Amino acid sequence: MGSIAENVARVRERIESAAGGRRVLLVAASKMNDADRVREAVAAGVDACGENRVQELVEKRAAGAYEGAGLHFIGHLQRNKVKYLVGSVDLIESVDSIELLGDIDARAKKLCVVQDVLLEVNIAGELSKSGVEPERLPELLDFAASLEGLRVRGLMSIPPISAAPGANRPYFARMRELFVDIGGKKYDNTAMDFLSMGMSGDFEDAIAEGANMVRVGTGIFGPRDYGAPAKEG
């Protein structure tokens, strides 16, 4: 692979080709990349950085890694880590329970802020993944309608990992259907602004099915080194 700047430029070209004139936000999935590498991605023009682990986000934020770009949390969020994110990130993409909505709302009201969130959908029903089942989305949206400390801004999903070209398009298409359906029902405190789906191996398919936000890690930073022990997020 080339430099981070070259990789960002290539990913941008592919996004533009797939988007057909629509604006699609590029989130650099920056887990396990140090602050210097994240700064390179920001300098190359990514729209936001997305972190999977709270501790890693806090450390890199303290080092000024994200200055000049938005900051999203895209990993599984434990309820006891909410306090580190609310008011400090632009978007929490991985909200998947009423309990988590309530915790974010309570923390936001304490700080006198309004936190933007996405609802994460387990679109393929995988037991190994977080996310709310599609049929439970109305329950979460009804609960969020009266909350003053957050705003639901859209949906996020991570479909199954597959090396087969186009394998995830049915899941992306189903997410688009949910996105449009929810938008048409006009829930209070909800705006279907962002449909976040697609990663390094399938973001062009995701864009073709309606994604307007993609999360790209390997395509920007190269393969990750998983030799080091993972930290809880």
pLDDT tens, position by position, 92-144: 999 999 999 999 999 999 999 999 999 999 999 998 899 999 999 999 999 99
Is residue 229, in this structure, part of any structural domain at all?
A: no
Q: Is 50 exceeded by the pLDDT of residue 196?
A: yes
Is residue 226, in this structure, part of any structural domain at all?
A: no
**Cβ atoms within 10 A of the Cβ of 185, count?**
11
Q: Is 60 exceeded by the pLDDT of residue 224?
A: yes
Is residue 147, in this structure, part of any structural domain at all?
A: yes
In this predicted structure, what is the pLDDT of residue 226? Answer: 60
Pick from 210, 175, 218, 231: which is nearest to 24 by CA?
Answer: 210
Rounded to the nearest 10°, the torsion over CA 75, 182, 101, 59 is 30
Is residue 182, in this structure, part of any structural domain at all?
A: yes
Is residue 230, in this structure, part of any structural domain at all?
A: no
Q: How many domains does the chain have?
A: 1
Is residue 179, in this structure, part of any structural domain at all?
A: yes
Residue 1, both tokens: 């692979």
Tell me the residue type at 90. D
CA distance 31 to 228: 12
CA distance 121 to 31: 21
Quickly state the pLDDT bin for 2 (edges 50, 70, 90).
Answer: confident
Give residue 182's domain range: 4-220
- pLDDT tens for each residue of 7-62: 999 999 999 999 999 999 999 999 999 999 999 999 999 999 999 999 999 999 99
Is residue 138, in this structure, part of any structural domain at all?
A: yes
